Structure 1
Amino acid sequence: MLREARVYDKSEVYQLWKQSYPTLDRNYLNFYFKHLFDSGVCLIEEKDQKIVSSLQMNRHVLHFHGRKLVCGFLCGVSTSPDYRRRGYMRKLTESMLDEAAHTHLITLVPAFQPRLYEPFGFHTIYYQKQYMIKKEELNKVTIQNVSYSAELKELLEVYQKFTSRFDGFYERTLDSYEMMQKELVATQKQMVIYRDENKEVKGYLIFGMKNGEVHVEEAIYLDSIALLRMLKCAIGKAEEIFINVSPSEKLEKLFPLAIPKKNSYIMAHINNYELFNKLFCCDISSVKEAFALLHKPLWIHETY
């Protein structure tokens, strides 16, 4: 039986996610179910008096071609190993997309398994570039004006300035950054901030350890000095640091020896082409054509 999850299903869905994502950081999983799970819509499939499959959809405001659109973000696709290959994921996805067609124009999903979502009309629209930067490339950089704290308002303001160069990004609020700080504490990640000579925040980095390596998960910066100094601080005693950025960010200009690795990151689905065409005065019939309308490069680094 397919239905929407209720409060008393939460612990069982948690165990299903835990079983389906054995490599997912447990601290992050605990954070998600404590602070975020209840704010989304979760569909579940029950079989043999237990939850055997689930799918979560969170809603956000997306900046898209001069408008602010409510979008859906699918995550937590999970099916118990004993019940896989029975069509439960397809059933949940079709049901969720049917609901999405009545509430918003665009649905996003992580592009970790493109072939899983392509049959439903999803298309990969966003890639990340990962650079590996060696410590010696930062030898001449100082950490002057780099600190570990900032007001939420300052973080939001620098994010808004940074994303003004892009399109396809989430609308963030002070609540977004309050939640981000809770996530940093829960997952033991860190944030470094760079201020200019006038004490104005010009950027921040979020980073943590992954398999013994330093990984930057989000880099917000208004100039190259901010980025370089924050990377210098984040790398610490490590020999190298990994950073994920958008395709339009050319870090090889700062690090000529760094060769980026391209990774699929976000897929999109247009839920109602007729309404989309009416809203944007166009005549598109595919996800690729829809995102080709944008005049600025994409920047989508969200995970839920």
Structure 2
Amino acid sequence: MEARLLQKSDRASLFAFINSESHLDRSAVDQFFHDVIENKKGIIVIEDEIIFALVIFEERLLNVCGFKVKAAHVIQSILRQDGDQMGLLKKCFDVLKSEYLITLNHLDEHFDVNNVFVNRQAYTIYRQHLPNVKGYYVSDDYEPQSLHSLYRYFMSKFSIAFDEKDQLDLEGLKQEHEIFVSQNEEGINGFIIYSYKKGVMHVKTLIYKDAKALLSLLNQAMGMNDKLIVEVSSFEHINKVIKQAVCEASDEVEIIVNNLEVFIRLFNHKSPNITHLINKNKLSYYFV
């Protein structure tokens, strides 16, 4: 058996595999197959043109203490029900780990990996709990480069977070979102990107240098709404600024750490001995 990247020439084998192993109806199989073969990256385990495993992933950048790492974020795995599922998954991961740090949200029963960090949290904030601030004003007048610079500065402050790109696609975001900046006499100190989602104001991106910038931007997004939902990283404790803010959801991400420099930065351990670290901290993370 060979584990390798999925190729366009694997169309027939991939369709047969999805049709037999995914438990989707015919129309859903067609749609899923087209999306995978045209838009996604995948690793397959294949022998004699028969696919035994498919791991779908997307390339992402992970910011670890200011160190950029190319990560393969696993979206989904489909494994032959009658095969060695753990062995098949390991074959796929062996291909990925040669080039990427591997991150994943979950792999159900296939892999015993514990959470390393919470990537995103969603806070619900009600109008009556959001204080006003003075000395800062909000507008939609900005130079794109100033927002890109602020975004990079903001991302560098976190010990670990996904960093999709150094620049935001502001023109693309403006098609469906509102974008406003917060300013004082020193210049722009934050910006916010938001839109309605299922009738509720939803803040997609919130970048700020201080608490006043954060509050001024949230007030802008709140407008005449009774509440809003804001997504932030796990390192941002919104409820320290707005005590009544309620954290209702989180996106937990697991990491298979197969990069020595990432390991050192992540655990602040200059001469990492994995067994010692796990025993000392009572961890059960999976390291490759």
TM-score interval (norm. to shorter):
0.5 to 0.7
Residue 219 and residue 114 in structure 1: after superposition, are their counterparts in 2 closer, same or farther (change >3 A)? farther
Question: Does 1:282 pair with 2:271?
Answer: yes
The 5 A counterparts of 1:144-183 are: 145-148=137-140, 150-170=142-162, 173=165, 176-178=167-169, 181-182=171-172
**Alpha-carbon offset, residue 98 of structure 1:** 0.2
TM-score by length of 1: 0.64
Question: Does 1:217 pair with 2:204?
Answer: yes
Q: Over residues 121-169 of structure 1, what are the superposed CA-to-partner deviations in whole Å (9 max), with x where a residue is unaligned? A: x331112433211122337468973234644422221122223332223
Gaps of 5+ in 1: 21-25, 293-304
Secondary structure of 1:123's aligned partner: coil
Secondary structure of 2:246's aligned partner: coil
Secondary structure of 1:72's aligned partner: strand
Residue 246 and residue 65 in structure 1: after superposition, are their counterparts in 2 closer, same or farther (change >3 A)? closer
Question: Does 1:124 pair with 2:115?
Answer: yes
Q: Please tell me whether the aligned partners of residues 203 and 227 of structure 1 are also in contact (alpha carbons under 8 angstroms).
A: yes
What residue in structure 1 maps to residue 99 of structure 2?
A: 103
Secondary structure of 1:124's aligned partner: coil
Provide the rounded CA distance (Å) in 1 between the counterparts of 2:97 and 2:107: 21
Q: Over residues 168-198 of structure 1, what are the superposed CA-to-partner deviations in whole Å (9 max), with x where a residue is unaligned? A: 2355655x423x643x36xx64142323134
What residue in structure 1 maps to residue 233 of structure 2?
A: 246
Provide the rounded CA distance (Å) in 1 between the counterparts of 2:88 and 2:205: 31
Residue 263 and residue 275 in structure 1: after superposition, are their counterparts in 2 closer, same or farther (change >3 A)? closer
Kindly report the root-mean-square deviation, in angstroms, between the aligned alpha carbons of the 2 structures. 4.5
Provide the rounded CA distance (Å) in 1 between the counterparts of 2:262 and 2:222: 47
Q: Please tell me whether the aligned partners of residues 4 and 45 of structure 2 are also in contact (alpha carbons under 8 angstroms).
A: yes
Based on CA coordinates, which of the two structures has the bigger radius of gyration? 2
Q: What code does the residue aligned with 1:126 have? A: F
Q: Please tell me whether the aligned partners of residues 45 and 51 of structure 2 are also in contact (alpha carbons under 8 angstroms).
A: yes
Q: Please tell me whether the aligned partners of residues 183 and 190 of structure 2 are also in contact (alpha carbons under 8 angstroms).
A: no
Q: Please tell me whether the aligned partners of residues 114 and 267 of structure 1 are also in contact (alpha carbons under 8 angstroms).
A: no
Question: Does 1:234 pair with 2:221?
Answer: yes
Q: Please tell me whether the aligned partners of residues 8 and 37 of structure 2 are also in contact (alpha carbons under 8 angstroms).
A: no
Q: Please tell me whether the aligned partners of residues 63 and 161 of structure 2 are also in contact (alpha carbons under 8 angstroms).
A: yes
What residue in structure 1 maps to residue 128 of structure 2?
A: 136
Residue 224 and residue 46 in structure 1: after superposition, are their counterparts in 2 closer, same or farther (change >3 A)? same
Provide the rounded CA distance (Å) in 2 between the counterparts of 1:78 and 1:239: 40
Provide the rounded CA distance (Å) in 2 between the counterparts of 1:274 and 1:201: 34
What residue in structure 1 maps to residue 286 of structure 2?
A: none
**Alpha-carbon offset, residue 284 of structure 1:** 3.4
Secondary structure of 1:248's aligned partner: coil
What residue in structure 2 maps to residue 94 of structure 1?
A: 90
Residue 283 and residue 217 in structure 1: after superposition, are their counterparts in 2 closer, same or farther (change >3 A)? same
What residue in structure 2 maps to residue 300 of structure 1?
A: none
How many residues matched? 260
